[in-house]
Amino acid sequence: MAGSAKASRRRARKKASAIQARRKKEFTYRGYTMEELLEMPFDEMLELLPSRARRTYELGLNPEQKVLVDKLKASDGQTVRTHRRDIPVIPQFVGKSVAVYTGKEFKEIEIKPEMIGHFLGEFALTRRTPQHSGPGVGATRSSKFMPLK
């Protein structure tokens, strides 16, 4: 009997301290919700971006960059393929799909609100980490004396 009372208290304590399902927090970028960012004039929205991304738009985009930005704003569901990795993500791109060239292949990216202010190239890595196997024959002193098969 004593064991069951103790076990029931333990169960009650565990139940009380159980982590409740966390509610999804609404996304904000520097204190503004996604709706507020989309309604905001472009110049005001640029002031919120990091300096490098802000300067890219303030100094003006080159013709290839302008074409991509226009395609992205106009796209509705289809993936836009590009070699331009130097375009900063703005709120108008959120929810769009872009295939960015890595130098070998196009990597498809779904643009999320957390990507605002970052460049497209940051999400399509061009280098892979090397996958090393074991050391070769002669690489260590002990491997010199291994019988070769």
Mean pLDDT value of segment 23-40: 90
pLDDT for 102 equals 95
Question: Concatenated DSSP letters for the chain?
Answer: -HHHHHHHHHHHHHHHTPPPPPPPPPPEETTEEHHHHHHS-HHHHHHHS-HHHHHHHHS---HHHHHHHHHHHH-SSSPEEES---PBP-GGGTT-EEEEE-SSSEEEEE--GGGTTSBGGGGS-S-------S--TTSSTGGGGPPP-
Report all structural domains of the chain as residue ranges with CATH numbers, in order of start.
27-123 (3.30.860.10)
pLDDT band at 146 (very low <50, low <70, confident <90, very high): low
d(CA 104, CA 121): 13
Q: Please give the mean pLDDT across all residues of the chain.
A: 88
Using the structure block, give the residue that is written with the tokens 């103790």.
6
pLDDT for 147 equals 66
d(CA 91, CA 102): 23
Mean pLDDT value of segment 82-93: 95
User: Looking at the DSSP assignment, which residues form a beta bridge with residue 28?
Assistant: 33
Top-confidence residue, 55 or 5: 55
The answer to whether the pTM exceeds 0.75 is no
